[in-house]
Amino acid sequence: MDALFIDGQWREPDTDPITVRSPVDDGVLGSVPSGTAEHVDEAVGATAAVATEFRELNVYERAEAVKAAMAAIEERADSIAETMAREVGKPVDEAREEIDSAVLSGRSYAEDAVRLFGEVTPSRFEDRLNYTQREPYGPAAVVTPWNYPLEIPTDHLSAALVTGNPVTWKPASDAVLTATHVAEAFARAPLPEGAFNFVPGSGSTVGAALAGHEAVRLVAFTGSTDVGQRIAARAAGRSAGCLLELGGKDPVLVLDDADVERAADAIVMGSNYNCGQSCSGTERVIATEAVYEDVVAAVSERTAALTTGDPLAADTDVGPPINDDVRETVRDHIADALDRGARVTAGGSVGDRYCEPTVLADVTPEMRVATEETFGPLTPVIEVADTDEAVAVANDTRYGLQAAVFTESLRTAHRVINALRSGGVVVNGTNNVWEHQLPFGGFKQSGSGGEYKGKWHLEGMTQVKSVAIDYGD
Active site residues: 245, 279
What's the N-to-C CA distance of the chain in angstroms? 66
Contact 143, 210 (CB under 8 A): yes
Three-state SS for 145?
coil
**How many residues comprise the chain?**
473
Contacts (Cβ under 8 Å, ≥6 apart) of 235: 211, 216, 219, 241, 242
The CA dihedral of 256, 260, 265, 266, to the nearest 10 degrees, is -10
- Report whether 303 contacts 359 (CB < 8 A): yes
Sign of torsion, CA 371 95 304 25?
negative
Q: Would the CA dihedral through 267, 272, 278, 283 be positive or negative?
A: positive
- The alpha carbon dihedral of 341, 271, 173, 314 has a sign of positive
Q: Is 38 exposed, middle or buried (0-12, 13-18, 19+ CB in 10 A)?
A: exposed
Instruction: Give CA separation, 121 vs 5, 115, 118, 135, 381, in Å.
Output: 43, 18, 10, 18, 50
Alpha-carbon gap, residue 119 to 116, rounded angstroms: 10
- Ordered DSSP codes for 268-317: HHHHHGGGG--TTS--EEEEETTTHHHHHHHHHHHHHTPPB--TTSTT-S
Number of other CB atoms surrounding residue 410 within 10 Å: 9
Burial environment of residue 248 by CB neighbours within 10 A (0 to 12, 13 to 18, 19 or more): buried
**Are 77 and 310 spatial neighbours (Cβ–Cβ below 8 Å)?**
no
DSSP 8-state code for residue 368: H
SS3 413: helix
Task: Give dist(CA 394, CA 380) in Å, integer.
Answer: 13
Q: What span, in angstroms and rounded, lies between the C-alpha atoms of 69 and 91?
A: 24
